[in-house]
Amino acid sequence: MGNRIQVFEHTSLSVKEGGFKDSHFRALVSYNERHGNRFFAVGLNRIHFRSYVGVIQVGNLTIEVLPKADKDPGVAKAKDKWQKALIDMLRQAGFIRVESMSDAHLRLRSASLLDIFFESFLAEVDELVHHGLVRKYRQTCGNLYALKGRILFQEQIARNLVHKERFFTAHVLYDRDNPFNQILRAALEVLIRVSPNAHLVGCASGLNHLSEGIRDIAVTDGTFEKLPFTRNTERYRRALQLARLILLNYCPDVCGGKENVLAILFDMNTLFERFVYAQLKREEAKQAPPKVAFSAQVRRPFWTAEGMQKSIRPDIIAQIGAAAAGEMVVMDTKWKIPSDGKPGDGDLQQMHAYNVQFGAQHSLLIYPKIGSEGDVDGHFSQGEALSPSFDHHCGMMFLELFDGERLRRDLGKDVVGKLIGDIA
């Protein structure tokens, strides 16, 4: 089992701190450069983490980057609290399926985030194997001892002029050698190379033995984009989502220093948005009939020019009541603490544009709550171009994330209550 370091977003990690070596530092600098320097900033023998959270495996060192909205000291208790919160956010946002593993099973193991990602992936693959890996037709060529398919005469003459017992043919096979299974095999091989957990490596090796006859392929982002999901392959979607995280974020050490890097990182702003939306959809499903319906990532045209177009896309749209007679509320989630309790100018300008483009008279900025902040309701000035009847608002709502040490699972109730109360 390797070493593990836990840090919070927007903090830094120095060489020689907690087992973080110069070789680890150089490997992470190289990895970050390959990805446009977006994950962290580099200082003098120091890594400054940004708003990306998750896990980095570099050589035998595991670095967990945890979210943190409050200002409590980074003690072990706070790290444990936020690690569990991150796991729950990832589960509710659909990135991992922790329920596939029992609580007791997780407690008996290292609580490493990397272990949880890998174990979730292995559970998905094991389920696919249990129900049978998908088979597909594929066309191939080969020099066979039996006539099968159609003979390729040019190759037949070139290869088999003195081998009358062979036939070079183009023929169709029905087997498991297809992109769905090729991706799973590639991800299992990365897991075997990278994971410091001997138990998980053993499980992955056992599953990988079932991939005989499945070819190695170079996996890129385009490989996933081209996958033709059908009714028969839809069951692969969760496993492939995890495989994508593993494969596209893996950087092998080409210099032979054994400092391979796998960084499964998530932009905390996006993760918070997806977590809040999942909570809202859960609350919507409880309503009969629904009082508020939620939709995400709805686009509207914003600016056009010859050959160009820009659109705007708020995080969440809430429709209160029927579409014809009800009210629309535009919402944006913000994983940050407003300075002096006031929204940023850019955020307010963004919400003003949303209101105008969507014809909404109410909008809401949603933040995590860290203290005694109270919700705020503000009004936009009328301006000269808008109709006098278009009196539109923008409020601030602070969500209490925790119930004790556990992440709350009923945040949607608070948001729905506020929406109905404000509109009423």
Mean pLDDT of 391-418: 92
Cα distance between residue 262 and residue 255, in whole Å = 16
Q: Per the domain annotation, does 202 fall within a domain?
A: yes
Q: Per the domain annotation, does 168 fall within a domain?
A: yes
* Same domain flag for 255 and 403: no
User: Does pLDDT of 318 surpass 50?
Assistant: yes
High-pLDDT (> 70) share of the chain, % = 87
Q: Which pLDDT tens digit goes with each residue over 239-298? A: 999 999 999 999 886 555 568 999 999 999 999 999 999 999 999 998 877 789 999 989
Q: Per the domain annotation, does 216 fall within a domain?
A: yes
- Name the pTM for this structure: 0.84
Write down the mean pLDDT value for the chain. Answer: 86
pLDDT at position 137 is: 65
Alpha helix ranges (H) inside 195-267:
198-208, 221-225, 237-248
Picking from 175, 200, 229, the residue at the C-terminal end of a domain is 175
pLDDT at position 135 is: 74
Closest Cα to residue 368, out of 265, 264, 279, 263? 279
Mean pLDDT of 87-93: 91
Q: How far is CA 269 from CA 68, 242, 274, in A?
A: 12, 20, 9
- Its domain, for residue 388, covers 287-423
Cα distance between residue 50 and residue 187, in whole Å = 27
Cα distance between residue 250 and residue 191, in whole Å = 10
Q: Per the domain annotation, does 280 fall within a domain?
A: no
pLDDT at position 311 is: 93
Q: Which pLDDT tens digit goes with each residue over 206-220? A: 988 777 788 888 899
Please report, to the nearest 10 degrees, the dihedral formed by the alpha carbons of residues 22, 25, 29, 35 taken in order.
150
* Same domain flag for 253 and 166: no
User: Does pLDDT of 104 surpass 60?
Assistant: no
User: Does pLDDT of 162 surpass 90?
Assistant: no
Given pLDDT bands bounded at 50, 70 and 90, which one contains residue 72? low
Cα distance between residue 12 and residue 48, in whole Å = 4
Given pLDDT bands bounded at 50, 70 and 90, which one contains residue 191? very high
* Same domain flag for 262 and 372: no
